[in-house]
Structure 1
Amino acid sequence: MLATGAAVAALTLSACGAGGTSGGSSDTKFVQGKGGVDTVAKGDRKHAPEITGKTLEGKQLDLADYKGKIVVLNVWGSWCTPCRAEAPNLVKVAKDTEADGVRFVGINTRDSDRANAIQFEKEFKVQYPSLYDPIGKLMLRFPKGSLNPQAIPTTIVLDRQGRIAARALTPLSEEALRKMVEPLIAEK
C-alpha cells in the first residue's frame, strides 16, 4: 500500500510534465530518442501489462481484445494543457491509420468527474474509447524499468503482439506520432 501511494505521488509530481527517465537499470534494451520518444527493438520488447476497466461511458474495455492490432495508448487529463494541444493530432492520426490496423485507446487520469473528461472528448471530437482511471491505478501496472508512463501526457505504442514498442513522455505533433506508428505498420 505504501509503495502504491509513493508511486501515485511520484506520478502526480510529474503530471502534465515534459518527461523523465525510465527509472530502470542500464539493461532495459530501449533506445532513448530525441524529443522524449523511446523505442524498443522488435526482439527486445516486453508484453504490456493487463489493462482493463470501464470507459468514460461505463463500458468494459480489455486491451487483450485488441490483439493483432497496433495499439496507441494515450494517458491524458482534461485539465492538462499539453494534452489539449496534442488531442487534434491524436484524433487525426487515429482516423488516418485505422485501415492499417491501428487502434487508439485513451487512459483518462486525475479527472475526479467524468463529465470534464467527456466534455474534453466532445470538444476535440475524440472517437476512440478512453478508460477512466482517476487515481492512476492502470499506469502503475507497467513495471518499473519498462517504457512505463511517467508524465501526463504519455503515449505508449504496442505492437501487434501486445508488446511495448515505443513511448513518448511529451505532447506529440502529428509528425512525431506518425514516426512512432509507421514502423509498426510496416512490420509483418
Structure 2
Amino acid sequence: MRAKSISLVLLAVLVAGCAGNQSGQPQAGDTRFVAGDGKMQVFGAGERKAAPAVEGPTLDGATASLAAHKGKVVVLNFWASWCGPCRAEAPVLKEVAAKTKGSGVEFLGVDFKDRQADALAFERTEQTGYPHLFDQPGKVALAFQGTVPPAAIPSTLIIDKQGRIAARALGAVKYTDLMDTVTKVRDE
C-alpha cells in the first residue's frame, strides 16, 4: 500500500512538472520538447511533399521567407533559447552553414515559443550567420504539422531546390549526418 501511495505522489509531481508555468512561457531549464535521435530521415523524390509558404519577421526586425530562397536548398531549423539540445546543436548548424554558404544552400532558423530578448541573446552568443524567424506563437511549426510534431524542437528540415521537404531530423543533429544529407540534396 505504501509503495502504491508513493507511486501516485511521484506521478502527480511528474505530471505537474510537465505542465509548465501559468504564463505558458517556457522558463530557463524548461525541458518540454519532443526528444529525437537527431538522425536524418531522407525522403525519396516521389515521397516529397511541398513545403508550406513560410514568411515572417526575423529576430533583427527584417522579414524572411522560404520563397526568397527559391531554387536553392534550404536548411530550416526549429529551436528555442530555453532548449538544451538546441544549444548543443548550434555550433554544428553554424559550421555546416558556413561551409555550404555560396554553394546553393541557405539556412533559416525558426525561433519557437521563445522570448525575443532571450533569442537575441542566444544569437549574439552563437553568431550563426543566418537569419532566424521569430515564431513566438508557433505558427510556422504548425504549418509543418504532419512532417514535424509542433513541439519537436530541435527539428531540422532540408527543403530541396523544388521547394519540397527532402529530409528531416528530430532532435539535435550531428555534423556528419547534416553535412552528408545537405550535400546529397544539393547535388541532386
TM-score by length of 2: 0.79
Identity of aligned residues (%): 45
Say if 1:74 and 1:107, in contact at 8 Å, map to a contact too. Answer: yes
Aligned residues: 160
Residue of structure 2 equivalent to 1:65:
68
* 1:104-143 correspondence runs (5 A): 104-112=107-115, 114-143=116-145
Aligned partner (choices 22, 33, 40) of residue 16 of structure 1: 33
Say if 1:150 and 1:169, in contact at 8 Å, map to a contact too. Answer: no
Gaps of 5+ in 1: 1-11, 20-33
Residue of structure 2 equivalent to 1:8:
none
Aligned partner (choices 102, 105, 114) of residue 102 of structure 1: 105
Q: Which runs of 4+ in 1 moved over 2 A?
A: 14-17, 34-37, 146-150
State how far apart, in whole Å, the 1-side matches of 2:113 and 2:61 are.
17
* 1:143-162 correspondence runs (5 A): 143-144=145-146, 146=147, 150-162=151-163
Residue of structure 2 equivalent to 1:42:
45
Say if 1:72 and 1:103, in contact at 8 Å, map to a contact too. Answer: yes
Q: In the alignment, is residue 175 of structure 1 matched against residue 182 of structure 2?
A: no
TM-score by length of 1: 0.79
Quote the RMSD (CA, aligned, Å): 2.0
* Larger radius of gyration between Structure 1 and Structure 2: 2
Gaps of 5+ in 2: 1-25
Aligned partner (choices 64, 72, 82) of residue 79 of structure 1: 82
